[in-house]
Homo-oligomer: A and B are copies of this chain.
Amino acid sequence: MARRGVIQDFVDDKHDHASCVEDALQRAEVLCGERGERLTPLRRRVLELVWDNHQPVKAYELLAMLAGERKRAAPPTVYRALDFLRDAGLVHKIESLNAFIGCAKPDRRHCAQFLICIGCGAVAEMDDPALTGKIAANAKRLGFRVHQETIEVEGYCGSCAG
C-alpha cells in the first residue's frame, strides 16, 4: 500500500509484520548507538512488545507480557523502559488512551499526531508539518514557546465507518 502525503496509512492485513517489527528494532539499535544511549535487553524487549502489537498497548499489558519471561517484573520495570523509549523518541504515549505505541519515524524528532479509530482501535500516525506550523504560529501570537504537541483525533477509520 502506497504512502499518501504526510500520513501513514492504517496498517492493513497485508503488511509484513515480522519485518516491520525487525526494522523498528534495527532502527532503534542504530539510533541509540549514534546517540550513545544504551538500548539494554529489557528496553529492547519492551520496544519489541510494543511493536508486536502494532496498536496502542497499556503499561500493565506490557507488564503481564514481561511477567512470563522475566520473574519479578514490576510496574517500575515497564514504566522506566517506556520513559527511556519515549525520551529516545522510539515510543509515543497516547494520552487519551493511557497507552503506548511505537513511533513510525523515530529518526527525526517530531511531535506525534494520531488518528485513533474508536471502532477497531487502530491508530495511524500523522506528521503534518503544516499542522505543526499553524500551531506554532498561533502560539507565537501569544508569546508562547512550544515545547511539545499532543494531537489525538478520535473517529472511525474507513473500515469501521461503513
Q: Interface size on A (CB < 8 Å)?
A: 39
Q: Which residue of B lies closest to A6 (CB)?
A: B138
B148 touches A138 (CB 8 A): no
Asked if B147 and A149 sit within 8 Å, CB to CB, the answer is no
Give A11 to B25 CA distance when docked, in angstroms.
45
Tell me if A118 is interfacial: C-beta within 8 Å of chain B: yes
Q: Is A145 an interface residue (CB 8 A)?
A: yes
Q: Which of B9, B145, B147, B155 contacts A139 (CB 8 A)?
A: B155
Once bound together, how far apart are the Cα atoms of A37 and B94, in whole Å?
Answer: 32
Question: Are the C-beta atoms of A149 and B158 separated by less than 8 Å?
Answer: no
Q: By the criterion CB–CB under 8 Å, are A143 and B161 in contact?
A: yes
Across the interface, which residues of B come within 8 angstroms of A96, CB to CB?
95, 150
The reply to whether B153 and A148 form a contact with Cβ atoms under 8 Å apart is yes
The answer to whether B7 and A141 touch across the interface, beta carbons within 8 angstroms, is: yes
The answer to whether A149 touches B148, judged by C-beta atoms less than 8 angstroms apart, is no
A49 to chain B, nearest CB (A): 24
For the complex, is A24 an interface residue (Cβ under 8 Å from B)? Answer: no
Report the minimum CB–CB distance from A59 to chain B (whole Å): 15
A42 within 8 A of B: no
Q: How far is A66 from B7 in the complex, measured between Cα atoms in Å?
A: 46
CB distance from A97 to the nearest CB of B (A): 9
Q: A96-B95, A117-B144, A124-B144 are in contact. Are A149 and B153 (CB under 8 A)?
A: yes
